[in-house]
Amino acid sequence: MKNKKEISTRRLLGIAGMGWMFDAMDVGMLSFIIAALKVEWNLTPGEMGWIGSINSIGMAVGALIFGLMADRVGRKNVFIITLLLFSVGSGLSALTTSLAAFLVLRFFIGAGLGGELPVASTLVSESVSAERRGRIVVLLESFWAGGWLVAAVISYFIIPKFGWQIALVISAIPALYALYLRMGLPDSPRFTAVKEKHKTSMRESLQKLFSKEYGRQTAMLWIVWFCVVFSYYGMFLWLPSVMVMKGFSLIKSFQYVLIMTIAQLPGYFTAAWFIEKFGRKFVLVVYLIGTAISAYFFGTADTTAMLMTSGILLSFFNLGAWGGLYAYSPEQYPTIIRGTGTGFAAAVGRIGGVLGPLLVGNLVAKQVSISSIFIIFCISILIGAFAVFILGKETKNKELV
């Protein structure tokens, strides 16, 4: 018979993970929708880049605002608000008929998504024991791969036959069920314990991030978040379109991306195992270096076999690194500024998420080769790995304060 604590952890992981999965479905489908809208709305590469970038602008704003809110009104309340914002925006975006309206709604969807992810990892981190915390947070991140996988299946079977609007509606409806489940969650026990004893203003919280005590962690997180998000959104939002540019049909590119997406799951599960065995820094540095090497070979691939092999390894290492990053980030700060610190790092990262897709759009328009573009992302990821190696402190088994 499972003890009550384990059942509670599993329930928290399941409910938080469901919201994470629906968020991933939306982001995953966006890459396929961009490819479909290029044909339907006759979009230029620059306009295609803006769809991904406006999403990241919303994520930056959401991560910052909701991160600050989480240290004041609680993790659970922000958890509910962000999913509501995301699901309503996603449903309404299916009704748009112009790029301008679509971009406005993508901003609000991004705000909900950007706010939810760091707050969700903070809530789960504060609700799980130190010896299991890293593994559980990485497993939470693994729901992202499940969402991408569902997005790839929906995009492959639904978008070509029924249109991108139906695909968006399919993703929005289940998110409302996750919202209902989330209402019954308790708030973070650690936040509840300290919120009355240690009240800080937003200004004081921000000042603490740059204090002598936490400045090094803040600098490290900002660098790695920027580099990882810049490269992730630059590469993965353009993945189906890059496949088309390499000579594959839209349907064939969707099929290959679906296969690559499956590789995300073992990436998460191996990272979840390694993170408690060898530590956070090991997972982040090794998986980021693996991502960089895979990105280089994906960009320079000239055969289908090399393209698929490097694409599968890119998904494996990149998403494992994401799991490590979400486990590592909340552990850098005390409870009173954890939401602020994690949210601010994510917000800085989202600036990279704005620049990545825009950079690809502009470089493609100037007929810069795909190999040169992916070398840029390779270098970016290596800078992130170097920042963790030099500035990062190991937090394995560290008790949160």
What distance in Å separates the CA atoms of residue 310 and residue 319, rounded to the nearest whole number?
14
Q: Could you tell me if residue 195 is inside a domain?
A: no
CATH number at residue 258: 1.20.1250.20
Q: Could you tell me if residue 99 is inside a domain?
A: yes
Tokens representing 394? 């190991």
Contact predicate 342/333, CB 8 Å: yes
Q: Could you tell me if residue 199 is inside a domain?
A: no
Q: What is the pLDDT of residue 31?
A: 75
Q: Could you tell me if residue 224 is inside a domain?
A: yes
Q: What is the pLDDT of residue 1?
A: 45
Q: Could you tell me if residue 97 is inside a domain?
A: yes
Q: What is the pLDDT of residue 100?
A: 92
b or e along 228-242 (b: 16 or more beta carbons within 10 Å of the residue's beta carbon)?
Answer: bbbbbbbbbbbbbbb
- Provide CB contacts within 8 A for 210, sequence distance 6+: 218
What distance in Å separates the CA atoms of residue 5 and residue 276, rounded to the nearest whole number?
20
Q: Report the number of distinct structural domains present in the chain.
A: 1
What's the DSSP call for residue 211? Answer: S
Q: Could you tell me if residue 271 is inside a domain?
A: yes
Q: Could you tell me if residue 345 is inside a domain?
A: yes
Domain that holds residue 241: 9-181+210-391
What distance in Å separates the CA atoms of residue 330 and residue 313, rounded to the nearest whole number?
27
Counting as low any pLDDT under 70, the low residues of the chain are 1-7, 174, 196-199, 248-251, 254
191-208 residue pLDDT tens: 888 776 666 777 888 889
Gyration radius of the chain over CA positions = 20
Contact predicate 50/361, CB 8 Å: yes
Q: Hey, what amino acid is at 260?
A: M
What distance in Å separates the CA atoms of residue 309 and residue 296, rounded to the nearest whole number?
12
Contact predicate 224/51, CB 8 Å: no
Q: Could you tell me if residue 189 is inside a domain?
A: no
